[in-house]
């Protein structure tokens, strides 16, 4: 398997994860988590979302969070926006990139944002104009890129049509999202082999959910084709409230551990990242799906049981 020497990860837990927590997470705790992620060397963070507070009350403090975080050189701080009003707020708050999202599936887009795909594209036109004036890159995420819980597998031609419209608007990066964990490595390979030659110069990102324990295999398939940008969520937080069966995103520390075990650099301090995950568990008040927090790194060693050491064959000096 041909794999890259380095990948770039974008942490989405403080947005994708915190937005669906049943209890409001205090602003100070959100800021502490973002700062700790920065200190761990995370290169990109989707900090929050500038959506109407009535729609996502959990992120009603977006401006305050952006104002209070410590900006680390080497980390890019982004926010998700739904429309031109959100984009204006994000620009005023000092984001360094704007993220958008719509679905490749008409039914999911209607369930998620109460608009058809065409209506969403038109709504995003103003976002791209604002981002252009502010000279900010736009990363356009596409939910249900591989499958929809209402319609089944997403046809590649349908996905390509959505990608083309976003690229025509000015997207510099496209994020393919496996919203409910329906994708498999062969499908990921087929989709990327189809799309990547048709859109040269686009930065491709994979946004995976681990609903069926396929997130890391799908990431490995994308890496084999040269994709080097991936979203992840601390502790495996997250899910989509408008997609039945969706569970959390691929766990950040588990993915970093996997990559580092294979000699692939991320620029992230894994020990510090694990500490952030433990901190998030105390904030949300429950154990999270991540495995490295429980099992430790692959090179963890345990003391021998009583009596075993004396019976081990002696190695020749």
**Res. 296 pLDDT band, cuts 50 70 90:** very high
201 in Cβ contact with 218 (< 8 Å): no
Our answer to whether residue 240 is catalytic in this structure is yes
DSSP 26: P
pLDDT at 315: 78
pLDDT at 116: 97
Question: Would you identify the CATH topology of the domain 8-311?
Answer: TIM Barrel (3.20.20)
Domain ranges, ordered by start, for the chain: 8-311
Q: pLDDT tens for residues 145-185?
A: 999 999 999 999 999 999 999 999 999 999 999 998 999 99
Identify the weakest region by mean pLDDT among 37-51, 107-121, 230-244, 249-263: 230-244
Q: pLDDT tens for residues 40-93?
A: 999 999 999 999 999 999 999 999 999 999 999 999 999 999 999 999 999 999
162 φ/ψ angles, rounded to the nearest 5 degrees: -70, -45
pLDDT at 247: 66
CA dist 258 and 255 (Å) reads: 5
239 has a pLDDT exceeding 70: no
Question: What does DSSP say about strands 97-103 and 44-49: parallel, antiparallel, or unpaired?
Answer: unpaired
Identify the weakest region by mean pLDDT among 112-116, 235-239, 258-262: 235-239
Range 195-206 average pLDDT = 98
SS3 286: coil
pTM: 0.94
**Res. 243 pLDDT band, cuts 50 70 90:** low
219 in Cβ contact with 206 (< 8 Å): yes
Radius of gyration of the chain from its Cα atoms, rounded to whole angstroms:
20
Residues in CB range of 293: below 8 A, 6 or more apart: 235, 253, 274, 277, 278, 281
CA dist 241 and 238 (Å) reads: 9
Range 283-294 average pLDDT = 93
pLDDT at 112: 87
Helix (H) or strand (E) holding 100: strand 97-103
- Torsion angle of alpha carbons 227, 233, 239, 245, nearest 10°? 70
Cβ atoms within 10 Å, residue 225: 14
Range 130-140 average pLDDT = 98
**Res. 244 pLDDT band, cuts 50 70 90:** low
CA dist 288 and 73 (Å) reads: 29
Residues in CB range of 75: below 8 A, 6 or more apart: 38, 41, 42, 43, 44, 45
SS3 138: strand
**Closest among 237, 233, 163 to 200, alpha carbons compared:** 163
pLDDT at 245: 52
Query: Apex CA 229: angle with CA 219 and CA 89, to 5°?
Result: 125
242 has a pLDDT exceeding 70: no
207 has a pLDDT exceeding 80: yes
CA dist 292 and 309 (Å) reads: 28
Residue 82: both structure tokens together: 């739904």
240 has a pLDDT exceeding 80: no
Out of 148, 240, 251, 258, which one is annotated catalytic? 240
Q: What percent of the chain has pLDDT over 70?
A: 97
Range 97-120 average pLDDT = 95
């Amino acid at each position: 398997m041909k794999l890259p020497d380095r990948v770039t990860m974008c942490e989405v837990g403080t947005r994708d994860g915190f937005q669906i927590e049943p209890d409001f997470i205090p602003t100070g705790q959100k800021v502490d988590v973002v700062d700790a992620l920065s200190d761990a060397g995370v290169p990109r963070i989707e900090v929050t979302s500038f959506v109407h507070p009535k729609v996502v009350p959990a992120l009603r403090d977006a401006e305050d969070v952006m104002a209070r975080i410590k900006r680390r050189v080497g980390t890019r701080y982004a926010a998700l926006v739904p429309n031109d009003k959100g984009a204006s707020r994000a620009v005023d708050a000092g984001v360094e990139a704007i993220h958008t999202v719509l679905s490749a599936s008409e039914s999911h887009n209607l369930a998620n944002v109460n608009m058809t795909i065409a209506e969403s594209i038109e709504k995003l036109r103003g976002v791209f104009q604002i981002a252009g004036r502010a000279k900010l890159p736009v990363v356009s995420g596409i939910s249900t890129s591989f499958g929809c819980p209402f319609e089944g597998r997403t046809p590649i031609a349908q996905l390509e049509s959505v990608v083309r419209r976003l690229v025509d608007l000015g997207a510099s990066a496209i994020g393919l999202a496996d919203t409910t964990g329906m994708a498999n490595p062969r499908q990921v390979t087929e989709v990327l082999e189809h799309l990547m030659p048709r859109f040269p110069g686009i930065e491709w990102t994979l946004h995976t959910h681990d609903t069926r324990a396929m997130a890391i295999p799908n990431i490995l398939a994308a890496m084999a084709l040269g994709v080097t940008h991936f979203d992840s969520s601390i502790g495996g937080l997250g899910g989509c409230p408008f997609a039945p069966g969706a569970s959390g995103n691929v766990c950040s520390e588990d993915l970093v551990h996997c990559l580092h075990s294979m000699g692939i650099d991320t620029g992230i301090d894994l020990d510090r990242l694990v500490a952030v995950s433990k901190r998030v568990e105390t904030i949300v008040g429950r154990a999270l799906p991540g495995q490295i927090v429980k099992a430790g790194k692959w090179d963890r060693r345990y003391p021998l049981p009583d009596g075993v050491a004396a019976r081990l064959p002696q190695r020749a000096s």
